[in-house]
């Protein structure tokens, strides 16, 4: 009996999914608002994979196509970062070494300077400048030999940055490298100056020139898609900019990759070394640490617990690739994609997580081939919640309506701040996975994968499910 109590219709509707699951009735278990959003987006249930379950619960609250292998897009980074925390430890740091091969006397090196990388995912411009400054403080001023770049720690096939979407200059298409520096990108800032457009590059690369042929577009062009209207064409050490940039857009910036890794590191070294008062007389190129070389200085990265925040909150693909490759490295062998995939499978087996459908390509989710089922992605999150390192992984995830890739999602909703979520987006793929805290304080796992040509229109359905969980359970 409900006597004088009035039960809101919305609340009754919210209970229907749980009722149908318990009763075993042949009914769709999704909340009506989520079903309506999917229908409005013209996304059939067959194009979705959904699991909702309370953390530590034995059975899910909602399970749709849970065992179907699906493209997870960037939610695959959950697997890579969780494995990284457990296999490497939250305090793990990458090193980059400087060796001198020759005699150093009174600031002059009669020989080569060798830089050897071990896959640091976040060796930024600022950190590189500080490290070179330290080399100067250690007494190195003039290099009369060559700059040798040792990238041998990663054993990789040639990387084609155009292979994924035929847009090779985009920062997300940067390939992994043992000596990755500043994400191998240039920041181009577009500054309207009357009828001209000034382009400021950071960092400056010695020998790399910018050919600015940008022109104002027709009046009224607007700012939507301004970055797609700029055509960037690298050609050796020259970068051609063509197209139109509306002056009314004000100052905007892009981060682009326009030169190969080795050329980038060598050019940036020469620029900063000269600024610090140093000289380099020889050439620059790839090589390996020689038997006669002596370790001169070591740079250490931030700890892994900090690195995974950038990977997950901002969905940084090249950083995820660097971490994935590091998982397969051993003291006696270089890192490679097959070794990393095997290390991941061995780790899952030790944790008694059997994911037979799992397909790994780069660990970042920037892939048409990677696959995992919604059920196993939820199982992974359940395992992570029970891990002693769960706090580090959860803290790395974007907070709904607050920061990272979900900063603008449900910002005005009462659900803002109640979920830590990883998102993923590719053409035909829209995904979200993570943890939602309910009004009652319970913790729920949510996995909502969409693989369908209309996936881009599926965000509303995902958001409605998140709000439904947070409000009613």
Superfamily for domain range 10-90+307-472: DD-peptidase/beta-lactamase superfamily (3.40.710.10)
Sorted by where each begins, the domain ranges of the chain are 10-90+307-472, 95-158+261-302, 186-256
User: Which is it for strands 147-150 and 284-286: parallel, antiparallel or unpaired?
Assistant: parallel
Half-sphere exposure of 349 (CA within 13 A, CB side): 7
Which one is the CATH code of 95-158+261-302: 3.50.80.20, 3.50.50.60, 2.40.170.20, 3.40.50.620?
A: 3.50.80.20
- pTM for this model (two decimals): 0.92
Distance CA(428)–CA(426), nearest Å, equals 6
Cβ pair 119, 322 in contact under 8 A? yes
What sections of 351-458 are H helices per DSSP?
A: 374-386, 390-396
473 residues of the chain, pLDDT tens digit each: 333 333 343 444 444 444 334 333 333 489 999 999 999 999 999 999 999 999 999 999 999 999 999 999 999 999 999 999 999 999 999 999 999 999 999 999 999 999 999 999 999 999 999 999 999 999 999 999 999 999 999 999 999 999 999 999 999 999 999 999 999 999 999 998 877 889 999 999 999 999 999 888 777 677 888 888 899 999 999 999 998 888 888 899 999 999 999 999 999 999 999 999 999 999 999 999 999 999 999 999 999 999 999 999 999 999 999 999 999 998 888 999 999 999 999 999 999 999 999 999 999 999 999 999 999 999 999 999 999 999 999 999 999 999 999 999 999 999 999 999 999 999 999 999 999 999 999 999 999 999 999 999 999 999 999 999 999 76
Bond before 395 cis per omega within 30 degrees? no
Half-sphere exposure of 13 (CA within 13 A, CB side): 11
Sign of CA dihedral 319, 325, 331, 332: negative
Distance CA(27)–CA(64), nearest Å, equals 11
Q: Is 14 helix (H, G, I), strand (E, B) or coil?
A: helix
């Amino acid at each position: 009996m409900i006597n004088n109590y009035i039960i809101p219709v919305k609340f009754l509707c919210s209970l229907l999914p749980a009722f149908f699951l318990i009763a075993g009735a042949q009914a769709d278990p999704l909340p009506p608002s989520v079903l309506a959003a999917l229908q409005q987006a013209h996304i059939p249930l067959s194009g979705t994979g959904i699991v909702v379950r309370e953390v530590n619960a034995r059975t899910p609250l909602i399970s749709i196509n849970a065992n179907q292998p699906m493209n997870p897009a960037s939610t695959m980074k959950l697997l890579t970062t969780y494995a990284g925390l457990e296999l490497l430890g939250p305090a793990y740091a990458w090193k980059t070494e400087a060796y001198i091969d020759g005699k150093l006397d009174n600031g002059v090196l009669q020989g080569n300077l060798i830089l050897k990388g071990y896959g640091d995912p976040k060796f930024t411009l600022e950190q590189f400048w500080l490290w070179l400054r330290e080399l100067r403080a250690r007494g190195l001023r003039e290099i009369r030999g060559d700059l040798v770049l040792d990238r041998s720690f990663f054993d990789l096939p040639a990387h084609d940055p155009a292979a994924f979407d035929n847009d090779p200059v985009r920062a997300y298409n940067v390939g992994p490298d043992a000596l990755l520096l500043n994400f191998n990108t240039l920041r181009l800032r577009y500054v309207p100056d009357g009828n001209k457009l000034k382009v400021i590059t950071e960092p400056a690369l010695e020998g790399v020139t910018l050919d600015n042929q940008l022109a104002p577009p027709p009046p009224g062009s607007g700012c939507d898609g301004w970055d797609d209207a700029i055509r960037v064409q690298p050609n050796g050490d020259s970068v051609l900019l063509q197209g139109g940039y509306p002056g009314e857009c004000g100052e905007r910036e892009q981060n682009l990759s326009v030169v190969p890794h080795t050329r980038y590191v060598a050019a940036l070294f020469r620029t900063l070394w000269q600024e610090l008062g140093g000289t380099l007389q020889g050439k620059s190129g790839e090589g390996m640490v020689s038997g006669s070389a002596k370790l001169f200085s070591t740079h250490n990265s931030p700890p892994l617990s900090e690195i995974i925040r950038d990977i997950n909150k901002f969905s940084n693909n090249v950083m995820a690739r660097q971490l994935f490759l590091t998982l397969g490295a051993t003291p006696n062998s270089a890192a490679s994609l097959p070794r990393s995939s095997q290390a991941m499978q061995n780790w899952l087996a030790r944790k008694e997580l059997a994911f037979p459908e799992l397909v790994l390509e780069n660990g970042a989710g920037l892939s048409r081939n990677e696959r995992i089922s919604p059920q196993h992605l939820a199982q992974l999150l359940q395992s992570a919640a029970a891990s002693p390192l769960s706090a580090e992984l959860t803290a790395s995830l974007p907070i709904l309506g607050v920061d990272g890739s979900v900063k603008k999602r449900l910002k005005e909703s009462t659900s803002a701040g109640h979920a830590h979520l990883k998102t993923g987006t590719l053409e035909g793929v829209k995904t979200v996975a993570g943890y939602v805290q309910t009004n009652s304080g319970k913790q729920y796992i949510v996995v909502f994968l969409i693989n369908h040509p209309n996936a881009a229109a599926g965000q509303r359905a995902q958001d409605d499910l998140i709000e439904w969980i947070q409000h009613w359970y």
